[in-house]
A and B are shown apart, each in its own frame.
Chain A
Amino acid sequence: MASHRDLPAGLVNQLFHNTGSSSFTEFVAGYAPELLPQRDKVLATPIGDQVPHATTIVAATFAGGVVMAGDRRATSGNIISQRDVEKVFRADDYSCMGIAGTASTGIEMARLYRVELEHYEKMEGRTLSVAGKANRLATMIRGNLGMAMQGLVVVPLFAAYDPDRDEGRIFSYDVAGGPYERERFDAIGSGSIFARGALKKLYRDGASADDMVMTLIQALYDAADDDSATGGPDVTRKIWPIVSVIDADGYRRLTEEQVAGYVEQMLEQRLISPDGPIAPLR
């Protein structure tokens, strides 16, 4: 803590102490470090299997923006611990993140990340660049490496609209950080291999937002089809994937009714062709 002499113009509250940086995390580390996730503790026993895990997130760009979607299942080992968990979070007006891995750690990270972006924006009077946002998230994930080694792995997928380029951008990460910028589409989580396979065949360059939402719904269904930890659309309980669209107008999350419309359309087709749309061979 700084002495009062470091504080400007006689302000005595430490809230007025200027850390010399616009980072919220950096300020909290000095002001109330116990609020930050404790990353350096060693767990007596790895608890990775016992806490809920979030699974599949997919994202793809379209002409002038990006879409992100996530299923609603959280699992602890072979148990479904939650059917309607939310794994896609608004980060700021032009970006969002989806989390895979330990749900609690991921939710906490998303909450801190949102404050981090907003804090910078308010302090500096400008929004961080997309690359700046992606780098900041990488640092936060690297900070979690110790916990990840003990089973509390969290790996996010980050998507943002870049106003300088007028296009959507996708960044993926690994347990040690990143970021790795992805062209066109990407998927993370246990069902990602199946989702990525579907996206490979269904992705169309220059598609509309509407088409790209449908593509992601199809990819999530394919992931749920083959991966036990990914939840498909729950028709009886009316639980649909979470779909977020970001374009020049900013972030918007599709309403339940909107997503239900896409899902019903897809299910209708799948009754005839259970493996989904067939990509042309030549």
Chain B
Amino acid sequence: MSMPFGYASPEQIMRDKADYARKGIARGRSVVVLQYEDGILFVAPNPSRALHKISEIYDRIGFAAVGRYNEFEELRLGGIRYADINGYTYDRSDVTGRGLANLYASNLGRIFTESIKSLEVEVVVAEVGDTPDGDAIYRLTFDGSVFDEHGFAAMGGQADAVATRLKERYREGMPLADALEVALTALTEPGGERPPVAQLEVAVLDRNREHRKFLRLTGARLERLLSQVSGGGAAAQEPAEEPPGAAPGEGASGAAGASGAAGASGAAGASGQATPPPTGPEGDIDDGSSPL
């Protein structure tokens, strides 16, 4: 980083910080958040049963994170305090995902510019609405950028490869079992082995639930869901492959698979320098056209 009596340009400092954060995040496993017909699904390969990557924040709001556990845990706890205090001050319906995303963004942004070390985290704040149109998925990066994602979001070590696989298979209004299948396929490298059920952290924000929409899917319930998929595995796969069409679709998925694998191996070495976040130092210059 900056040397005691030397000069380092602001660009250099920011680039170093961003690289540092990106390397830290790239070490973790990916997390996938996507819409399904009744709400929003969170899937994270997580060998630990005690340290959660996915959590409830409020009635309609869920949280998922990758990176350093102690850092995103502080964000999670702060988010719960923010939501509870707002819901208590006003009304439970006055707590929004957008407000929470802004709180996180301002804090992440300030830390990125002011602290020596930025937080090595990437966060998703998801809110389920009364209808699919009301659903929102906000992805926040270590520098405080907010991305209003449509349908799905992937983050973590191999986010680009996972997002590519997710994009190929994601359809609007999928049943829960299909959405879970899509998420697991996206999280698994082509030809790789899927994480065992015991090492999966899965939760949903189900708009049909009363009061609190967040629900962890564990044990027998999760296994039943997974068996629904593997029982009708072919059926679940087929519609996912159908929409792109005949030959071009196959070609595209093949190419993406190859690039995904290349991206994955590249990410391990060079921490995914191919596509940095848009507002990162070596990314596009912010001309005010970004969503937030």
Contacts and interface: CB of A to CB of B under 8 A. Distances in A.
A24 B75 CA distance: 16
Given A10-B111, A10-B114, A35-B88, A125 B52 contact: yes
Contacts of B81: 15-16, 27, 31, 119
Contacts of B56: 122
A9 B71 contact: yes
A8 interface: yes
- Main secondary structure on A side of the interface with B: helix
Interface residues of A, number: 25
A28 B84 CA distance: 10
A31 B111 contact: no
A127 to B, nearest CB: 12
Contact of B74 (A9, A12, A24, A27): A9
A14 B209 CA distance: 32
Interface stretch (A110-118, A200-208, A226-234, A273-281): A110-118
Contacts of A27: 81, 85
B88 A16 contact: no
Nearest to A122: B80
- Main secondary structure on B side of the interface with A: helix
A139 interface: no
A15 B114 CA distance: 19
A109 to B, nearest CB: 12
A123 B111 CA distance: 23
Interface string B93-130: 00000000001001100110011000100000000000
A11 B84 contact: no
Contact of A9 (B80, B85, B88, B119): B119
A13 interface: yes
Contacts, number: 73
Contact of A12 (B77, B88, B110, B119): B110
A11 B77 contact: no
Contact of B88 (A11, A28, A122, A123): A28
Interface in A109-166: 111-112, 115, 118-119, 122-123, 125
A15 B80 CA distance: 9
A149 B57 CA distance: 38
17 contacts: A8-B70, A10-B110, A10-B114, A10-B119, A11-B75, A11-B78, A16-B77, A16-B78, A28-B85, A28-B88, A31-B81, A32-B85, A93-B211, A119-B80, A122-B57, A122-B84, A125-B52
5 closest Cβ pairs, A-B complex: A16-B78, A10-B115, A10-B111, A15-B78, A8-B74
Given A10-B119, A35-B89, A115-B88, 12 more contacts: A9-B74, A11-B74, A11-B107, A12-B110, A16-B75, A16-B78, A16-B81, A27-B85, A35-B88, A112-B88, A115-B87, A123-B77
